């Protein structure tokens, strides 16, 4: 203690130590605030079991993964994910400086208060899911969701910690895991993690399902018994509904938990679908404090007015609200001419292959345009199409998929040849975007259906569908040919 790191961070106490890292509370001497400083451990126990050459190689992997954690934290902008302030190296060991979250882990909270009242359990689950939604939109898979990596701050705000083994999804992502080295924590690993298969955002859903099961049932979905170990149960045994272990669990939560814990990733819901079920069951602004009182109280942020810092952020990309140039003189309604000019600017950005401000402004205005002008106005569809295409080219797969799906579901009228071709192309684009989330089997199904649609279309329309279908099919083939990207 008392050691100064990077010329400004004075270490005051060790507050956490895991397998690969150690976290210290520190005082930022420059701006007088407490921060968390995370060091990569040089005494990582697994390294001691390797020979010298393997130890050096593994240490390089750990350093690379540590650097990747810093990169991810810079991109993850959510109140439930501690932001990165600084990084560097001290005495040869890399470190990260992050926002300090004071409170208790969910693991300790459950040990003290379980079984939890339903609204308290939902309040925790909703806040964790909201942070997950931010990560999944990039898309990034956390890969180590467990109660020890969830912190409840003194104010009741949930923080999702430790992105040390998190991984961005994509075929060009560097692999940082040896074959035979299974990532995740025992009792919370999805079947595909145990089997060393490719992780997707649905992998996090399984781990989160295990956490939620503890929240609602007061116990894990599987426990050791005399006949079957935990691994075998996670691979082969279907869990019982949590309502069998705890009174007052609604049927919709029983159903949600079983879907989240499905062995097949494709059968699990997305994080947005999870939030759709959980949110109505949680506390609302103005609700009374739970009795008996909890310290900390995870319902507090959700019981505050809607302008409180904790709001659901997963419904739409966090783009700027409409600036004055795109509204009328009173700032009350959108200005159609200004939006047409913005569309032209977005088209130029897309044509030049560099989607930027115009595309982001359009994406931020798309929902408002549809609400004000309805779904039949051609300008609304043009805005949505440009937003979708621009976000796809910019790499925002989650945002692009939402717009493509919205066009296919709500902005296309009729069922003539042109409409069928348009829907096929849009659904192919959705599948292409979802590939970034590892949803390969679903994309294969969409490609097959698009082929059948194209076969029944006039040649000019069929060629439009076939062009996109071949692009997505090629993307699928590349991902299937690169299974090594599964671990990283």
The pLDDT of residue 179 is 40
* Lowest-pLDDT range of 102-116, 217-231, 246-260: 217-231
Which regions of the chain carry the CATH code 3.30.200.20? 4-99
CA distance 165 to 146: 13
Q: What is the mean pLDDT of residues 310-326?
A: 45
State which H helix or E strand residue 459 sits in: helix 459-480
**Each residue's pLDDT tens digit, 252-300:** 999 999 999 999 998 999 999 999 999 999 999 999 999 889 999 999 9
Q: Which of 34, 51, 130, 144 is catalytic?
A: 144
| Residue among 105, 6, 22 at smallest CA distance from 62 | 22
Indicate the average pLDDT of the chain: 85
Residue 103: strand, helix, or coil: strand
**Number of residues assigned to the chain:** 488
The pLDDT of residue 440 is 85
Q: What is the mean pLDDT of residues 32-51?
A: 72
State which H helix or E strand residue 423 sits in: helix 417-435
Which regions of the chain carry the CATH code 1.10.510.10? 103-303
CA distance 355 to 214: 44
Q: What is the mean pLDDT of residues 132-160?
A: 90
**Each residue's pLDDT tens digit, 389-415:** 998 888 788 888 889 999 999 889 888
The pLDDT of residue 45 is 46
Residues of the chain with pLDDT > 70, as a percent, come to 85
**Each residue's pLDDT tens digit, 339-373:** 999 999 999 999 888 888 889 889 989 999 998 89
CATH code: domain 4-99 is: 3.30.200.20
**Each residue's pLDDT tens digit, 369-382:** 998 898 889 999 99
CA distance 452 to 456: 7
CA distance 289 to 304: 11
pLDDT at 55 over 80: no
The pLDDT of residue 376 is 86
Per-residue confidence at 19, pLDDT binned at 50, 70, 90? low
The pLDDT of residue 196 is 85
Which regions of the chain carry the CATH code 1.25.40? 324-486
The pLDDT of residue 173 is 43
Q: Which residue has better confidence, 272 or 65?
A: 272
Is position 38 annotated in a ligand binding site? yes
pLDDT at 156 over 90: yes
State which H helix or E strand residue 90 sits in: strand 84-90
Q: What is the mean pLDDT of residues 68-82?
A: 84
Calculate the dihedral angle through the C-alpha atoms of 31, 35, 41, 44, rounding to the nearest 10 degrees: 180
The vertex-110 CA angle with 104 and 111, nearest 5°, equals 95
Per-residue confidence at 331, pLDDT binned at 50, 70, 90? low
The pLDDT of residue 135 is 87
CATH code: domain 324-486 is: 1.25.40
Does the annotation mark 144 as catalytic?
yes
Q: What is the mean pLDDT of residues 302-325?
A: 52
The pLDDT of residue 323 is 45
pLDDT at 486 over 60: no
Is domain 103-303 classified as CATH 1.10.510.10? yes
Per-residue confidence at 322, pLDDT binned at 50, 70, 90? very low
The pLDDT of residue 51 is 56
CA distance 383 to 292: 51
User: C-alpha distances in angstroms, 28 versus 5, 34, 51, 128?
Assistant: 10, 6, 39, 28
| Residue among 256, 297, 260, 247 at smallest CA distance from 279 | 256
Alpha-helical (H) ranges within 321-377 are 336-351, 357-373
Q: What is the mean pLDDT of residues 77-99?
A: 90
The pLDDT of residue 259 is 97
Q: What is the mean pLDDT of residues 136-156?
A: 90
Residues of the chain with pLDDT > 90, as a percent, come to 54
Per-residue confidence at 240, pLDDT binned at 50, 70, 90? very high
Q: Which residue has better confidence, 365 or 43?
A: 365
Contact 102, 47 (CB under 8 A): no
Contact 165, 65 (CB under 8 A): yes
Tokens 């979802």 label which residue? 434
pLDDT at 172 over 50: no
């Amino acid at each position: 203690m008392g050691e100064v790191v990077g010329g400004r961070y004075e270490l005051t106490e060790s507050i956490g130590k895991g397998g690969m890292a150690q976290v210290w509370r520190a005082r930022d001497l420059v701006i007088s605030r407490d921060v968390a400083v995370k060091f990569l451990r040089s005494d990582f126990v697994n390294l001691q079991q390797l020979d010298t050459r393997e130890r050096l190689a593994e240490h390089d992997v750990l350093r690379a993964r540590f650097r990747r954690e810093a990169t991810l934290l810079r991109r993850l902008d959510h109140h439930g994910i501690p932001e990165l302030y600084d990084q560097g190296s001290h005495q040869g060991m890399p470190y990260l400086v992050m926002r300090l979250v004071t409170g208790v882990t969910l693991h300790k909270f459950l040990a003290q208060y379980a079984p939890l009242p339903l609204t308290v359990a939902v309040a925790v689950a909703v806040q964790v899911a909201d942070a997950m939604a931010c990560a999944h939109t990039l898309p990034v898979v956390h890969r180590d969701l467990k109660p020890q990596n969830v912190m409840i701050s003194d104010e009741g705000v949930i923080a999702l910690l430790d992105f040390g083994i998190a991984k961005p999804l994509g075929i060009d992502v560097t692999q940082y895991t040896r074959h035979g080295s299974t990532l995740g924590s025992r009792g919370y690993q999805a079947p595909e993690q145990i089997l060393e298969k490719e992780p997707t955002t649905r992998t996090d859903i399984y781990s989160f399902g295990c956490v939620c099961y503890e929240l609602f049932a007061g116990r894990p979905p599987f426990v050791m018994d005399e006949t079957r170990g935990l691994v075998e149960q996670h691979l082969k045994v279907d869990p019982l509904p949590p309502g069998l272990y705890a009174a007052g669990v609604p049927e919709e939560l029983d159903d949600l938990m079983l879907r989240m814990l499905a062995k097949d990733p494709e059968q699990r819901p997305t994080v947005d679908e999870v939030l759709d079920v959980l949110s109505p069951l949680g506390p609302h602004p103005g609700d009374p404090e739970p009795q008996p009182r909890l310290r900390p109280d995870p319902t507090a942020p959700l019981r505050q007015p809607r302008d409180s810092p904790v709001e659901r952020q997963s419904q739409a990309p966090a783009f700027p609200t409409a600036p004055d140039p795109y509204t009328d003189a009173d700032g009350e309604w959108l200005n159609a001419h200004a939006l047409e000019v913005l569309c032209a600017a977005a088209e130029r950005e897309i044509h030049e292959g560099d989607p930027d401000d115009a595309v982001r402004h359009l994406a931020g205005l798309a929902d408002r345009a549809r609400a004000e002008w309805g779904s039949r106005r051609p300008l609304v569809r043009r805005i949505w199409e440009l937003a979708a295409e621009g976000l796809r080219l910019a790499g925002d797969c989650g945002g692009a998929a939402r717009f493509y799906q919205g066009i296919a579901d709500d902005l296309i009228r009729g069922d003539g040849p042109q409409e069928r071709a348009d829907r096929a192309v849009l659904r192919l684009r959705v599948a292409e975007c979802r590939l970034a989330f590892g949803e390969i089997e679903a994309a294969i199904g969409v490609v097959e259906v698009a082929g059948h649609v194209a076969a029944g279309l006039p040649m000019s329309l069929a060629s439009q569908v076939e062009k996109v279908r071949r692009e997505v099919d090629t993307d699928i083939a590349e991902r299937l040919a690169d299974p090594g990207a599964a671990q990283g």
